[in-house]
Structure 1
Amino acid sequence: MRVANRTTIKDVAREAGVSVTTVDRAINGRGTVRPETLRKISEAAQRVGYYGMGTFRDRLDQSLPEVKLGFVLLKQSQEFYRNFAREIEQAVTARKDIRGEVLIRYSSSQSPAEFAEILTELGETCDAIASSAVNDQKLDRIVQVLKDKDVPVFSLLNDFAQGIRKNYVGLNNMKVGRLAAWLITKTVHEPGKLAIFVGGNRWHGHDLREVGFRSFVREAGSGFSVLDTLVNLETRQLTYEATLDLLDRHPDLKGIYVAGGGMEGAIAALRERHAEPQVALIVNELTAESRAALVDGYAIMAIATPLPDLCRDLVEMMIAARGQPDDGVAGQYFLEPRLHLPEIV
C-alpha cells in the first residue's frame, strides 16, 4: 500500500518531464544519463521532496566539469575586501553546473612585482583569473603570457592591462567621479574649496574618478575650486594626517572626495576637528565606518559597488571564457553603483 503523500520516482519523472525509466537509471546508476538530464532530475526531486536518491548526488557532482577560478584582491584586513571574498565564494557555490574551486589571494601592497607574482602563481592552476591591480607594463606582460596559455584575465574595479585582459568588470569610474562632484556642488550652498584623494598614480580608475570630478566642477561654474590632488596610498593614517592639514590650511574647505581607499582617516579627522559636521565628505563603499559617518552626518554619500551582482556576473563570464579561443574583443562591463545617503543607510 502506498503511504499517503509519499513521493515516488513517478512524481520525480513527471516533474522533470522525463520517463520513469530515465529517473530509475539516474538514481540507481543503471545506465548512462546526460549531465543536463541528471541536473534536471535532481532539481525536480528537490521540488517534489523526493530524497531516496542514495549516491545519486555524488554521481551528479562527478559528472560536472571541474573549474578552478583565481581572484586577486587587495588588503585582507579591509572590510570591503573581506566582503568581496565572501560574495565570490557564494557566487561560485551557487553555480549548479560546475564543481567550482575558488583560490583567493591578497596583495598587501601596490607593488607591480607582488601582483605579477600572484598572477603567475594562479596562472599555473586556474582556468580563469580576475584581479584588481595597478596599471604597469610588467603586468601587461604577465597578462599577455597568461592569455597565450589560454588563461583569460579579467580586471576588477581598476582597468589594468587594457587591450590584453579579457574584460573589465566594475563601475564606470568617470561617471562615479562626476556623481560625487554633482552631489557636493548641489548640496553645499556656499562655494569654496574641494579636495580629492586618490590611492596612487598607478590606479587608472582613480585617475578617471578625478577627471570626472574636476570636469563636472569646472562645467558647473558654481564658484567651487578643486585643490591639488592628494595621494594617500589607500591608507587610513596618511588620509587622516592630510585631512587635518587641509582643515588647517584651508578654512574655506567645503568638501572632500576620497576616490579610493583610506576613507576611515578622513572620517576620523573630521570627527576629531568638528563637533558637528562642517565639511561634505563623499566616500566609496559602505562599511561599518562609512555607515556610521552617514548616520552622524560626517559623510553625505557612499558610492558602493554592488558586490553580489558583480560577483555573480563575473563568475558567469569567467566560466564562459575558460578554454575558449580569444575572440579579440576586450570589453568593459559596467555595473550601476549603489548610492547610500544619510537617510537611507
Structure 2
Amino acid sequence: MKTRRPTLKDLAEAAGVGVATVDRVLNERPNVRATMVERVLAAAEDIGYPTKKLDAIKLDAARPVVRLGIVLHKPSQEFYRNFASELEIAVKNRAEVRGRCEIRFSSSQAPSEFAAELVEASKSAEVLATSAINHPTLSQTIRALQDDGKPVFSLLNDAASGVQQSYVGLDNVKVGRIAGWMIATQVREPGKVAVFIGGNRWHGHILRETGLRSYLRDYAPHLQLLDAIVNLETRQVTYEATLDLVDRHPDLRGIYVAGGGMEGAIAALREVRPPGKVALVVNELTNESRKALSDRYVSLAIATPLPDICRYLVSLMIEAARSGPSETSGQHYLTPQLLVPESL
C-alpha cells in the first residue's frame, strides 16, 4: 500500500504550530525566528515532508543577517534613484550574508534632516552610509553613532572627514581637473568659464571647483573662471542662472555643473546657443544628460560608476559590521567614467 505523502497540515501538527506559521517558514516571510525555522525543519525531517525547499531555507538561515542603513539625497533626482537600485542589487548579490538594506531619502539638504534620518536608520541598522553635506551637526551625529558602535561611511561627499568610518567615492579634485581639461580642449578663444556648486557645505563640490580652477590656471590662462554659483542642486535655479550668465557674459566659453541641476543648464543652452558653442561639462549619466550628449549640448559627462561603487561599499559595510568602527578614517577612490558624444 502506497504511503500517504505528508501534507502542510501534518507538518504543522508535527511542529506544534499553526499552518500559517509553517507557511511563513516555507515562503521565507520576514520576522520568523531562527528557532522556529529549526523547529519546522526538524518536524519535516521526522515525518518525511519533502525537504528540498526546506534544506535551502535551512542553508539560508545559517547565513548571518547584516542590516545596512543608507541615507541619500532626495529621490526626485534620477541619479539617486539609480543609486538606490544599484545598492539593492549589490546587497542581494552577496551570497555569504542575508543582507537587509534600508534606504532612506532626505527631502532637503538641511543638516538637521540628514541627522534625523541617520539616527532613525541606526535604530535597526548595524552600519550606515550617507551622501550628507558637511556641517557640524552632522559631524556630531556621525561621531555619536561611531562611538555607539555604528560605523558610518560617507558617500560621494566627504562629510565628517576624519570622524566617519571611511569616504567612498571619486577623487573630487581630479574630477574638477578633468572638467577643466575638457573645457580647455574644446575652447581656444579667450573668455569666461562658470561653475555651479550645490552649496558651500558640499565639500565634494568645493574640491571639484578647486580642481577646475587649478587646471585652468595651469594650462588655460586665457580662460577666466567666474565665482562659483550656488544652485542648491535644483533645475530651476540653474536654468535661470545660466540664462543670466549668457546675457551678462557674451564671451562665456564653458560651464561646469559640479553637482545636481544640470537639466537647467542644458535647457537654457538649448534656448540661446547652438550645440557646442558653450562647452558644458556635467556630472552623472541620466536620460537627460545622455540626450544632451547625443545632441552635442553636453561635451562631457563625468559619471560615478554606480555598480562598482555599490559593490565596493557593500563589501566595506559588511566587513565593518563584523569588526566595528575603525579608529582611523580612510578614503576609497573609484575611477570615474568619462562619456563624450561619440561614446553613445
Q: Is TM (by shorter chain) over 0.5?
A: yes
- Specify every segment of 5 or more residues in structure 1 that has no aligned partner in the other structure, as ranges: 1-50
1:95 to partner: Cα distance: 0.6
SS at match of 1:185: helix
Q: Is the 8 A contact 1:150 1:324 kept in 2?
A: no
Match of 2:111 in 1: 112
1:124 to partner: Cα distance: 1.2
CA distance in 2, matches of 1:131, 1:327: 17
Deviations, residues 71-122 of structure 1 (Å, cap 9, x unaligned): 1111101111111010000000001111111101001111000001001111
Q: Is the 8 A contact 1:271 1:277 kept in 2?
A: no
Match of 2:323 in 1: 324
1:186 to partner: Cα distance: 1.4
SS at match of 1:322: helix
CA distance in 2, matches of 1:166, 1:252: 45
Q: Is the 8 A contact 2:187 2:279 kept in 1?
A: yes
CA distance in 1, matches of 2:124, 2:51: 37
Match of 1:232 in 2: 231
Q: Is the 8 A contact 1:157 1:171 kept in 2?
A: yes
Q: Is the 8 A contact 2:151 2:324 kept in 1?
A: no
What's the TM-score once normalised by structure 1's chain length? 0.84
Match of 2:336 in 1: 337
1:281–1:221 Cα change, 3 Å: closer
2:233 alignment partner AA = E
RMSD between aligned alpha carbons?
1.3
Deviations, residues 37-95 of structure 1 (Å, cap 9, x unaligned): xxxxxxxxxxxxxx983411100111111111011111101111111010000000001
Deviations, residues 277-298 of structure 1 (Å, cap 9, x unaligned): 4111000000011011111110
Q: Size of the alignment, in residue pairs? A: 295
Deviation larger for 193-202 or 275-284: 275-284
- 1:1-345 alignment runs, 5 A limit: 53-345=52-344
1:212 alignment partner AA = G
Deviations, residues 178-214 of structure 1 (Å, cap 9, x unaligned): 0100111112121211000000000000000000100
What's the TM-score once normalised by structure 2's chain length? 0.84
Q: Is the 8 A contact 1:132 1:157 kept in 2?
A: yes
1:329 to partner: Cα distance: 2.0
CA distance in 2, matches of 1:82, 1:311: 13
1:154 alignment partner AA = F
CA distance in 1, matches of 2:147, 2:300: 43
CA distance in 2, matches of 1:191, 1:263: 24
1:162 to partner: Cα distance: 1.1
Q: Is the 8 A contact 2:184 2:220 kept in 1?
A: no
Deviation larger for 142-151 or 231-240: 142-151
Deviations, residues 123-163 of structure 1 (Å, cap 9, x unaligned): 11101001000101111111111111111000000000111
Deviation larger for 86-95 or 137-146: 137-146
Match of 1:29 in 2: none
CA distance in 1, matches of 2:220, 2:186: 15
1:316–1:250 Cα change, 3 Å: same
SS at match of 1:190: coil
2:277 alignment partner AA = Q
Q: Is the 8 A contact 2:150 2:325 kept in 1?
A: no
CA distance in 1, matches of 2:326, 2:78: 36
1:294 alignment partner AA = L
Deviations, residues 5-51 of structure 1 (Å, cap 9, x unaligned): xxxxxxxxxxxxxxxxxxxxxxxxxxxxxxxxxxxxxxxxxxxxxx9
2:219 alignment partner AA = A
CA distance in 2, matches of 1:73, 1:56: 37
SS at match of 1:234: coil
Deviation larger for 268-277 or 328-337: 268-277
1:320 alignment partner AA = E
CA distance in 1, matches of 2:220, 2:125: 50
1:339–1:216 Cα change, 3 Å: same
CA distance in 2, matches of 1:85, 1:54: 30
1:198 alignment partner AA = I
Match of 1:26 in 2: none
CA distance in 1, matches of 2:143, 2:273: 50
SS at match of 1:214: helix
SS at match of 2:266: helix
CA distance in 2, matches of 1:333, 1:277: 35
Q: Is the 8 A contact 1:270 1:277 kept in 2?
A: no
